[in-house]
Amino acid sequence: MSDNNRLRIAMQKSGRLSKESQELLAQCGVKINLQEQRLLAYAENMPIDILRVRDDDIPGLIFDGVVDLGIIGENVLEEEELSRTAAGEQVNYQMLRRLDFGGCRLSLALPRDLAYQGVQDLQNCRIATSYPQLLKRYMSQQGVRFKSCLLNGSVEVAPRAGLADAICDLVSSGATLEANGLREVEVIYRSKACLIQRAAPLSAEKQALVDRLLTRIQGVSQARE
């Protein structure tokens, strides 16, 4: 990778967070020449390198200190944190700021025609999800036992396919649940994109640059209110 004096920022390459992550940096005055297929992009006017990866890789890159800053959904961040903690690892990072995009909720949903009175009704059910740790934490707080079915995509078809009784998936408009004959019954986690920093201290120059970016992000967000 390029020289160590440049601030390394990881963001999603392509997906729901990419456009607004790029816009956030643009609003901070960072001029990036993004070439669609490239993993690495360079800022023209500041000592910043952009690493464009799958969103799932971003928490680990921060926890391992491989990059300095990351823009990531809190859902993915917290799932990876819980997963590493469960594996006995220590996880350290700094939460710099919640951002104004990427809003969604992680919800439990059931086939529409199934009766539901409360989360106790899910006792011993099989629940399909891409977020087993967040689901496990919620269910143990509620004192409800369940069986997990890990799917990294197409979670919403699991009940119809006979793989699970219920699902726990991200929802924004609710259209996907609706289209699959499912009903949202509990919101277990609310997420937004956030800006995080690795735990190990940065050089004085890099930290000064991070502080300048944060001031600009704050300015942009206040101007919107």
Binding of ligand PRT at residue 37 (CB under 6 A)? no
197 binds ligand PRT per the rule CB under 6 A: no
Choose which of 174, 183, 202, 220 interacts with ligand PRT (CB under 6 A): 174
Helix ranges, the chain (H): 18-27, 58-63, 74-86, 132-142, 175-179, 204-224
Among Zn ion, ligand PRT, none, partner that 174 touches (CB below 5 to 8 angstroms by kind): ligand PRT
State in angstroms the smallest separation of the CB of 9 from ligand PRT.
Answer: 15
Closer Cβ to Zn ion, 73 or 159, answer by number: 73
Contact (Cβ atoms closer than 8 angstroms) between residue 39 and residue 53: yes
The answer to whether residue 105 forms part of the interface with ligand PRT (CB under 6 A) is no
Q: Does 104 participate in binding ligand PRT (rule CB under 6 A)? A: yes
Torsion of the alpha carbons at 108, 111, 117 and 120, rounded to the nearest 10: -50
Which of the choices Zn ion, ligand PRT, none does residue 133 contact, using the CB cut-off of 5 to 8 A by kind? none
- Count the neighbouring beta carbons within 10 Å of the beta carbon of residue 194: 18
Q: How big is the site for ligand PRT, counted in residues (CB under 6 A)?
A: 21
Longest distance between any two alpha carbons in the chain, whole Å: 59
The answer to the question of residue 133 lying near ligand PRT (CB under 6 A) is: no
From the list Zn ion, ligand PRT, none, partner contacted by residue 171 (C-beta under 5 to 8 A by kind): ligand PRT
User: CA-to-CA distance for 65 and 80, rounded, in angstroms?
Assistant: 15
Q: What is the edge-to-edge ordering of all strands in the sheet holding 69-73?
A: 40-42, 48-53, 7-12, 69-73, 193-198, 93-98
Nearest CB to ligand PRT, comparing residues 89 and 178: 178
Please report, as ranges, the residues that interact with ligand PRT according to CB under 6 A: 12, 15-17, 54-56, 73, 75-76, 102, 104, 169-176, 191
